[in-house]
Amino acid sequence: MSYVSLYVHVIFSTKERRKQIPEDVQPRLWAYMGGIARANKFKAIAVGGLEDHAHLLLSLPATLQVAKAVQLIKAGSSKWMHEELQRPLFAWQESYGASSVGVSQIPATVKYIDNQKEHHRKRGFTEELAMFLKKHGIVPED
């Protein structure tokens, strides 16, 4: 048996950063994304965001790649937005940002995800993503 502690902070935007997630829809969408994780045997410890992007703190088993977890959540939540909320034009961007999170950083990461509205009073998604990438030593591809 393998013993793994793998926590990943994932960020992705709506397609073309369009504001497609109204405030009244956000709690339902975030909860649905958590349900996708449970149904696929991984955990969404925190899910949040704003009208144009989502943040997730995921706990992944050794058998699941980050890319596959993100694909499951994006595909499932897009389908839900199309079918349940009658939003046929809703789409996520293809790319995403992800970084590992140490156990000691879980509370701060959860707080950050839960307080997205407050964080974005100071900076937009583009600036936030650039800071996230820089903080984690990720060089974006052009």
Tell whether the model's pLDDT for residue 121 goes beyond 70.
no
Give the residue among 51, 127, 133, 136 at the shortest CA–CA distance from 95. 133
Mean pLDDT, rounded, for 19-35 = 97
Mean pLDDT, rounded, for 18-34 = 97
Mean pLDDT of the chain: 90
Confidence bin at 3 (pLDDT 50/70/90):
confident
Give the residue among 73, 70, 3, 79 at the shortest CA–CA distance from 39. 73
Domains of the chain (ranges, CATH numbers)? 7-135 (3.30.70.1290)
pTM: 0.85
Tell whether the model's pLDDT for residue 123 goes beyond 90.
no
Mean pLDDT, rounded, for 64-75 = 98
Element (H, E) at 53: strand 53-59
Confidence bin at 15 (pLDDT 50/70/90):
very high
Confidence bin at 127 (pLDDT 50/70/90):
confident
CA distance 73 to 32: 9
